């Protein structure tokens, strides 16, 4: 019975930890100008692309804080664009709050695999030329608040994995340029990722099942993956490291060491998933830790027909090849 009660309270506690900043008067009237922002870290990619796992690894470091806690709560919500969406400027949110083109006849919010499709990307793409002092103040205030709240009296590094920032890298860089931000782009196999999302693993694709065919949903997902990665590559500079999710799964220590070196964070062995780790209470996706499964998403490719693979290749093929992802069946229909 005790375990049943604990399981029943897990989601409410997660939601409380995610949203309780709204009851903290400091977020409205506090002054945080004395809080130092030091090389904030931004994880980029698409939903379901391994960002949660990497975020949790990095958040186990005692010098790192996110939007919901420090290393003692390393598995809570970690997307600033969602958690602080109600008070962030529209240019820093937009998937759930302050949504552009909110009245679209098909792509209703919240959006996860639609905001970077060809029809919606013009509304979401932001670059350095869109930076303003007001947006800068809004971003700095949230980052400083999190540092003050979760690392009081000491210096710490802020980390975030708002996926929508993948199409806004140069904007974030411009807003925080004096703090030397670090970016890590995590790419994953689009032939598996797009198929998985179109099946309904992405919430907006699940809602579209009664309105669009699987083939139509698959093309939207392929557009989203391709446009997301293309925008990040277009904004790439020396402050961005690109890693493949599959490499993180197959060679976790070597890949994490490379990431830590890039973001200038001391590597610690205990950041790697281990069987003795206990995922903190109030966590979603508790399976996204240990053990690591190198084929966690790749099996979706085995279900796709040749026509479906070709649809993904149409949009993603050129970019995918840059990261050694190729058409898995050379267009031969398996059915």
Choose among 108, 74, 105, 40: nearest CA to 264.
40
Query: For residue range 145-179, what is the model confidence (pLDDT) as tens digits?
Result: 999 999 988 899 999 999 999 999 999 999 999 99
Query: For residue range 113-130, what is the model confidence (pLDDT) as tens digits?
Result: 999 999 999 999 999 999
Query: For residue range 266-322, what is the model confidence (pLDDT) as tens digits?
Result: 999 999 999 999 999 999 888 888 888 877 767 788 888 889 999 999 999 999 999
Residue 204 CB burial class (10 angstroms; 0-12, 13-18, ≥19): buried
Q: Tell me the C-alpha distance between 162 and 145, whole Å.
A: 17
Domain coordinates of the chain in residue numbers? 2-188+228-273
Phi, psi of 77 (to 5 degrees): -55, 140
Residues 88-102 have a mean pLDDT of: 96
Please give the CATH number for the structural domain made up of 2-188+228-273: 3.40.50
164, 126 contact by CB (below 8 A): no
- Give pTM, 2 decimals: 0.95
Q: Is the pLDDT of residue 17 over 90?
A: yes
């Amino acid at each position: 019975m005790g375990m049943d009660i604990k399981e029943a309270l897990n989601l409410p506690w997660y939601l409380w930890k995610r949203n309780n900043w709204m009851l903290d008067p400091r977020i409205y009237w506090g002054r945080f100008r004395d809080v130092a922002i030091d090389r904030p870290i931004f994880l980029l990619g698409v939903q379901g692309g391994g960002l949660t796992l990497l975020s949790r690894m990095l958040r186990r470091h005692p010098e790192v804080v996110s939007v919901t806690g420090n290393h003692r709560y390393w598995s809570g919500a970690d997307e600033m664009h969602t958690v602080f969406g109600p008070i962030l400027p529209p240019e820093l949110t937009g998937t759930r709050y302050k949504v552009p083109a909110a009245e679209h006849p098909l792509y209703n919010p919240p959006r996860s695999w639609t905001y970077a499709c060809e029809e919606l990307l013009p509304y979401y793409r932001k670059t350095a030329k869109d930076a303003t002092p007001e947006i800068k103040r809004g971003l700095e205030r949230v980052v400083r608040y999190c540092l003050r709240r979760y690392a009081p009296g000491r210096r710490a590094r802020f980390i975030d994995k708002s996926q929508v920032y993948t199409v806004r890298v140069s904007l974030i860089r411009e807003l925080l340029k004096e703090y030397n931000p670090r970016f890590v782009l995590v790419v994953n196999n689009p032939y598996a990722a797009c198929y998985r999302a179109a099946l309904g693993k992405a919430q907006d694709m699940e809602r579209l099942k009664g309105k669009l065919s699987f083939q139509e949903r698959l093309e939207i997902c392929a557009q989203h993956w391709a446009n997301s990665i293309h925008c990040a590559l277009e904004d790439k500079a020396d402050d961005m490291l690109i890693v493949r999710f599959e490499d993180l799964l197959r060679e976790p220590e070597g890949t994490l060491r490379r990431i830590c070196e890039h973001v200038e964070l001391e590597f610690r062995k205990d950041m790697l998933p281990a069987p003795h780790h206990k995922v903190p209470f109030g966590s979603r996706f508790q399976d996204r830790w240990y053990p690591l499964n190198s084929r966690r998403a790749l099996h979706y490719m085995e279900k796709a027909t040749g026509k479906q693979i070709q649809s993904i290749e149409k949009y993603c093929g050129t970019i995918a090849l840059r990261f050694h992802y190729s058409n898995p069946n050379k267009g031969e229909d398996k059915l």
